[in-house]
Homo-oligomer: A and B are copies of this chain.
């Protein structure tokens, strides 16, 4: 069994300034080849602290991943810690220096001297290419342990794991390569999914859950045949709530359904203030099916979109018919086949009789319209995030001819 430990370097992790989301990224990448993390250690930007953590991990692990502290500034100390740990000098790598200069040229910015620190390599270490940033990674063998130093920037870390480190680790593993399938599930809690899956035999695969607000990924890892069978069984057990089997997110799934139907979409957003549209324009190629939208944050903006002013005066901005009106008006205004709308109370204060967390989401098309009302946990960020999931899922179900998601227990 290969023991892997992770050291994450950065004062900002210890101060609580940022959540250490790289743990999930690393665990996810390792899970794909059937490996897991035994220990994660967060340490500050301080050479003796980094060295102590590396020494403790190297004494017991086969692989030590160390993320962060590879940038150009004076608090980026992982390179120096590795040199101290190994008792070696630091050399400046001419090839890396050239890559860094080229990357800055792409930005039309003169290379600051500090940035060239990123070309420094402890003697005996091997640089690992960074396809998304200027700080290269490093690989260093120490006794029986292989140390990988990785950037702390999430997208750079992800790319380096996928492109270099996971393939290198996989090459050293015996037996058939495990495969992974990710079933994604909208609007069901992690524990209700787990309870539902109690009835499914998943003994032949390793199961991991990754929970985002309103969106849970069930990751199945193991031999190819067992994973395919397990993904079938999981998707069947979870029914309409399981919206993808290849890890694709709701925006990509919705775009796929719209494209298949040669349909087009416009959105009208109140409390989500652009988040639904931002999610829909995240995938490349969004312009094939996405027309645009209206952010009607102020009540007058809803009237300007075409929602009946008498209805607005009578019911206020948080209302089922107002949501339906928004969906219809934005669809007509932008000449789309489908319209989606959100209105509700994100907080911190109630609106009229409506508590924080009350939201209405509507979909409108030539085939008909639909509106749902939900009471979400009364925290602003969560209300907005969950409303986006409800809007995308309502549209998905409408396109598939399914009933809207209903809260069950």
Contact = CB atoms under 8 A, between A and B. Distances in A.
Interface of A: 10-21, 23-28, 31, 36-45, 49, 52-53, 56, 60, 71-75, 106-110, 112-115, 132, 153, 155, 189-192, 194-195, 206-211, 217, 219, 267, 269, 271-278, 280-282, 284, 286-287, 290-298, 300-301, 304, 333-335, 347-348, 375, 377, 379-381, 384, 407, 409
A190 B73 contact: yes
A301 B75 contact: no
A335 B298 CA distance: 11
Nearest to A347: B284
A20 B17 contact: no
B39 A73 contact: no
A48 B36 CA distance: 17
A41 B38 CA distance: 11
A292 B301 contact: yes
A355 B112 CA distance: 26
Given A23-B42, A41-B42, 17 more contacts: A10-B208, A11-B208, A16-B27, A17-B211, A17-B219, A18-B211, A39-B42, A71-B191, A72-B194, A108-B407, A109-B407, A112-B191, A113-B195, A115-B191, A269-B277, A277-B295, A294-B295
Nearest to A247: B17
Nearest to A409: B110
Task: Give the interface SS of chain A, mostly helix, strand, loop or mixed.
Answer: mixed
A16 B24 contact: yes
A72 B190 contact: yes
Contact of A297 (B18, B207, B286, B381): B286
B72 A191 contact: yes
A75 B272 CA distance: 33
Contact of A75 (B208, B275, B277, B286): B208
Nearest to A74: B194
A37 B49 CA distance: 12
19 contacts: A12-B210, A15-B37, A15-B208, A15-B219, A17-B210, A39-B43, A45-B208, A73-B190, A108-B375, A109-B409, A112-B409, A114-B191, A115-B191, A267-B295, A273-B277, A284-B380, A290-B298, A292-B294, A300-B335
A107 B377 contact: yes
Nearest to A39: B43
A27 B39 contact: no
A157 to B, nearest CB: 13
Q: What 9 pairs between A and B have smallest CB-CB spacing? A: A273-B281, A16-B24, A274-B277, A274-B274, A16-B27, A292-B301, A110-B409, A274-B278, A72-B191
Nearest to A14: B37
A21 B44 CA distance: 17
Contacts of A304: 333-334
Given A24-B16, A407-B108, A280 B273 contact: yes
